[in-house]
A = this chain, B = another copy of it.
Amino acid sequence: MEVSLSEAAAWLLQQQDIVILCHQSPDGDTLGSGSALCRALRSLGKRAQVLCGDPIGRRFQFLFDGLEEQQFVPKAVVSVDIADEQLLGGLREVYGGKIELCIDHHPSNTHYAQRYFVNPKASATCEIIYELLPLLGVQPDIATATDLYTGIATDTGCFQYINVTPHTFRVAAQLLELGVPAPQINHAMFATKSRARLQLEREALNTIEYFHHNEIAVVTLTRKMVQESGAEDADTDGIASIPRSIEGVHIGVTIKEKADDLVKVSLRAPQPYNASEICAKFGGGGHPGAAGCAISCGVEEAKKQLVAVISTYLESL
């Protein structure tokens, strides 16, 4: 059932012992939404806990500063920034089919929850949580504002993408006024690379291949390359924006080898191209500008399949 944000707030106010679920391969928006909502609920005297099926990377640990773990039997289950139950990952077995409230901004949201508030015009789920706080009667403290700023900044590529609206900028202005240390966050999120990441980038630049009149650019990261660079999984995320950044490229593809017969694929596409539409053909999804999927085969076979499907897609336009 679709609910308004006020109805979502009213429902939350009636709950106790709430778990907040984040999506697998967690990013700044799902974690920032989770931690901000958790802080808000705790400030109301409720017990609340953020859960994620995957470990939370070192670079996002600060979002949970001061949020001690609480042990309780969940009485209410909320998901944030999760478009589909599949994205629960390891949490699916326990919480699949049991989510009572979903707050999300993905247009592809599959309405799996008992009640859902989905606003695809919000740049980030954190932008929605910011609107939710006054409805809960909560004035965000600096930690909550920091969580929310991080989600908005990371989901907009630091205010770079098409999802940024005048409202996004105004929310950012207000979060800055609450004392968010934005330059430090931006530096950590966007401007800092480990030496390992830099080495991986150099390797990635060496693998670029062009297809379909240079409109498709493909970067390949083998397990060996990742291992030898010493890069963490988070380091490999930013690599996905490289092929898409090349002048004249319509679809940027990054293929990450996960096992002998499993690859994870990141697609990036500028308007009017739709990466999500392409990934859907492989059982994946996401946004028009950025989407992903997994393919059960080796790197070369995946490349062949992807180039074929994307070429057909480009010719169909």
Contacts and interface: CB of A to CB of B under 8 A. Distances in A.
Copies in the complex: 2
B166 A176 contact: yes
A174 interface: yes
Contacts of A169: 169-170, 172-173, 176
A183 interface: yes
A202 B200 CA distance: 11
Contact of A191 (B166, B186, B198, B241): B241
B166 A173 contact: yes
Given A191-B245, A245-B193, A247-B195, A165 B161 contact: no
Contacts of A176: 164-166, 169
A81 interface: no
Nearest to A174: B166
Contacts of A246: 192-195, 198
Given A191-B241, A245-B192, A182 B170 contact: no
Contact of A270 (B173, B187, B194): B187
A275 to B, nearest CB: 14
Interface residues of A, number: 41
A104 interface: no
A205 interface: yes
A18 to B, nearest CB: 32
A168 to B, nearest CB: 8
A206 interface: yes
A220 to B, nearest CB: 16
Contact of A166 (B162, B177, B205, B245): B177
B174 A160 contact: no
A190 interface: yes
Nearest to A190: B160
Contacts of A186: 160-161
Contacts of A161: 183, 186
A145 B166 CA distance: 14
Interface string A151-188: 00000011111101111011011101100001100110
Nearest to A271: B183
Interface of A: 157-162, 164-167, 169-170, 172-174, 176-177, 182-183, 186-187, 190-195, 198, 201-202, 205-206, 208, 241-242, 244-247, 270-271
Q: What 6 pairs across the A-B complex have the smallest Cβ distances? A: A169-B173, A166-B173, A162-B183, A159-B159, A160-B186, A202-B205
20 contacts: A158-B160, A159-B172, A162-B183, A164-B176, A164-B183, A166-B174, A166-B176, A166-B177, A167-B173, A169-B173, A170-B170, A192-B245, A192-B246, A193-B246, A194-B246, A195-B246, A198-B246, A201-B205, A202-B202, A202-B206
Given A161-B183, A201-B205, 19 more contacts: A157-B191, A158-B160, A160-B183, A161-B186, A164-B183, A166-B173, A166-B176, A167-B173, A169-B169, A169-B172, A169-B173, A169-B176, A183-B271, A191-B244, A192-B245, A193-B247, A195-B246, A198-B246, A202-B205
